Amino acid sequence: MSKLFSPLKIRDITLKNRIVVSPMCQYSSVNGFANDWHFVHLGSRAIGGAGLVFTEATAVSPEGRITPDDLGIWSDDHIGKLKEIVSFIHKHDSVAGIQLAHAGRKASCSSPWKGGKQLTGEQNGWQTVAPGDIPFIKGILPPEPLTKEGIKKVISDFVTAARRALAAGFRIIEIHGAHGYLLHEFLSPLSNNRTDEYGGSFENRTRMILEVVNAVRSVWPESNPLFVRISSTDWTEGGWTIEDSVKLAALLKGKEVDLIDCSSGGNIFHAKVPVGPGYQVPFSQAIRATGIQTGAVGLITSAAQAEAILREDKADLVFMARELLRNPYFPLQAAKELGDEINWPEQYVRAK
């Protein structure tokens, strides 16, 4: 059997293969509610054979949304439809995961196809928050620095969201600490200009994400895996680096985090990112050397490429995004290409 289609056990959860549907924003919610779009989008990828299916970045509070159209889990009312989706994913032998997120200074924007710009108060926008007052883009309204009470509220929001995720039946949580959103903003010296215990030194800048992880793990069952997505580098001089990420990974491993999802960038508007096939895989390999499991992500588009990443011990899971948007049934086709015999949905066996 190929490595791509070999199972992976993490705590008490076994993934049937190493293909993960990466969290991908759909900008299709009203007031944070999941709907039929999310059911079809996520459910079809479970039918398509992925071992783990993540929701998009799911806001832990209304002010933590990137856009007004983001998925949310800040209300008990959000649980019902999510539970229905989770049940369908599990019925089709995939595992349902949820990414919990707070957008920080990159919140209060319109959806990409509506312009992607910061929304003003007249456009139903809201005040953004961040470690400090540095805006993501020069000239836009600056974020409001979080007070100590504000920090406590964010941590509490993550905890409450984790409890709701459990009630909805999710088996894996991923905490979003990447792409220039709030937790990443605390990590990077380019976005964190605080002078208290949450800013300055590496120890201080990592304090926020470690406190969130501790708090979430305290309410998330020991039997269930906890992932963290990070941006392995800011791709900008003076910013967060892969060396910082390796140090952070060791700390997260000590906090009972099971896997680091190794992305990059998103925090600096003008950063020059050398995008290309598998361009972030070296980060996954470097972080994996700390002894923690890792996920590789970033322009992974073929079965052979994914198999090579795993065979060469550069990652434990392969997170796929755009390729799975193009083809929800990629796993079924990849198994055939790699010579693996896997179960198809009974309704689709005639096409095997």
Residues marked active site are found at 181
Which has the closest alpha carbon to 284: 334, 213, 232, 236?
232
Q: Residue 4's beta-bridge partner residues?
A: none
How many Å apart are CA 164 and CA 71, to the nearest integer? Answer: 14
- The answer to whether 94 touches 17, Cβ cutoff 8 Å, is no
**Phi-psi category of residue 139: left, alpha or beta, with phi > 0 → left and psi -120 to 50 → alpha:** left
**CA contacts within 13 A on the Cβ side of 327:** 11
At 176, is the secondary structure helix, strand, or coil?
strand
> How many contiguous H segments (helices) and E segments (strands) does the chain have?
11, 12
CB atoms within 10 A of CB 179: 20
Per-residue HEC secondary structure of 254-274 comes to HCCCCEEEEECCCCCCCCCCC
- Apex CA 196: angle with CA 195 and CA 198, to 5°? 105
Structure tokens, 87: 């049940």
Tell me the DSSP string of 291-313. T-EEEEESS---HHHHHHHHHTT
Residue 105 near residue 129 (C-beta atoms within 8 A): yes
End-to-end CA gap in the chain: 18
The answer to whether the CB of 338 falls within 8 A of the CB of 307 is yes
Burial of 9 (0-12, 13-18, 19+ CB in 10 A): exposed
d(CA 139, CA 17): 46
